């Protein structure tokens, strides 16, 4: 079975948080992957902002629970910069097609 190609920006977003290798970490990673895919697949700014809010809440919850470090600024930068790039792309696309 061949692996599906994952765009580089989505792969970066999926791999931004470092989850543990145990069953809990695998479950957290799977939930995060679905949220990252929602961000990546957003087709409107409103959808993107909603997906970002869910992802942000999830990360903050994991930080509050002690599963992720509150000092991982690289992770936060990767997430925020990729969401911003997606927002800029969608805004440009929507302006070009006059939506």
CB of 40 closer than 8 Å to CB of 7: yes
Domain count, the chain: 1
Name the 3-class secondary structure at 61.
helix
Say what the pLDDT of residue 30 is.
97
Whether the predicted pLDDT of 17 surpasses 90: yes
Structure tokens at 73: 């600024």
Whether the predicted pLDDT of 96 surpasses 90: no
Give the residue numbers spanning the domain of 41: 21-96
Name the 3-class secondary structure at 54.
helix
The predicted-structure confidence for 34-47, as pLDDT tens digits, reads as follows 999 999 999 999 99
pTM for the structure as a whole: 0.85
- Residue 37, domain member (yes or no): yes
User: Can you say how many angstroms the Cα of residue 94 is from the centroid of all Cα atoms in its chain?
Assistant: 21
The predicted-structure confidence for 43-66, as pLDDT tens digits, reads as follows 999 999 999 999 999 999 999 999
On average, the pLDDT of the chain sits at: 91
- Residue 15, domain member (yes or no): no
- Residue 86, domain member (yes or no): yes
Instruction: State the average pLDDT over residues 85-90.
Output: 92
- Residue 1, domain member (yes or no): no
- Residue 87, domain member (yes or no): yes
Please state, in angstroms and rounded to a whole number, the distance separating the CA atoms of residues 83 and 88.
9
CB of 56 closer than 8 Å to CB of 36: no
Please state, in angstroms and rounded to a whole number, the distance separating the CA atoms of residues 38 and 6.
14
- Residue 11, domain member (yes or no): no
């Amino acid at each position: 079975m061949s692996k599906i190609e994952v765009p580089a920006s989505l792969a970066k977003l999926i791999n931004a948080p470092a989850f543990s290798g145990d069953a809990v970490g695998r479950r957290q990673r799977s939930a995060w992957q679905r949220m990252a895919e929602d961000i990546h697949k957003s087709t409107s700014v409103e959808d993107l902002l909603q997906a970002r809010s869910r992802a942000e809440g999830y990360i903050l919850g994991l930080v509050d629970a002690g599963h992720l470090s509150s000092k991982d600024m690289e992770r936060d930068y990767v997430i925020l910069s990729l969401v911003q790039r997606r927002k800029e792309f969608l805004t440009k696309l929507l302006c070009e097609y006059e939506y």
